[in-house]
């Protein structure tokens, strides 16, 4: 499971599928998911999504880039998919999140 966490962190979740992380953990999908959740408190899929959103945050905050230019780097098929995931995780749109960061 630690190797799986490292893989997710090192790739920022990009290009990863749950199946590829399960392969690193070994065993069947259900047992790998159960072990991962027991140690991390979240599912493999959630960990991948969170890593992708963290990457998106870094790219839009640090580089000032638009979501339309970073979605593919974050592992999403479209900017709409990234926007939906971003809002689901943070509660804010990417633009609103960026604006809230500049206030600090």
- Per-residue pLDDT for 51 more than 70? yes
> What pTM value is reported for the model?
0.88
Cβ-defined contacts of 71-78 (< 8 Å, 24+):
73/14, 74/12, 74/13, 74/14, 75/12, 75/13, 75/14, 75/15, 75/16, 75/48, 76/52
pLDDT tens for 14-33 read 888 999 999 999 889 999 99
Q: Which 8-state DSSP code applies to residue 1?
A: -
Are 83 and 94 contacting, i.e. CB atoms less than 8 angstroms apart? yes
pLDDT of residue 54: 94
pLDDT of residue 42: 95
pLDDT of residue 55: 93
């Amino acid at each position: 499971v630690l190797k799986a966490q490292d893989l997710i962190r090192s790739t920022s979740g990009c290009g990863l599928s749950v199946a590829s992380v399960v392969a690193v953990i070994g065993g069947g999908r259900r047992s790998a998911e159960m072990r991962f959740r027991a140690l991390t408190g979240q599912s493999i899929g959630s960990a991948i999504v969170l890593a992708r959103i963290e990457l998106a945050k870094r790219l839009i905050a640090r580089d000032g880039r638009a979501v339309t230019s970073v979605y593919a780097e974050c592992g999403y098929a479209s900017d709409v998919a990234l926007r939906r995931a971003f809002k689901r995780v943070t509660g804010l749109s990417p633009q609103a999140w960026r604006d809230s960061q500049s206030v600090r």
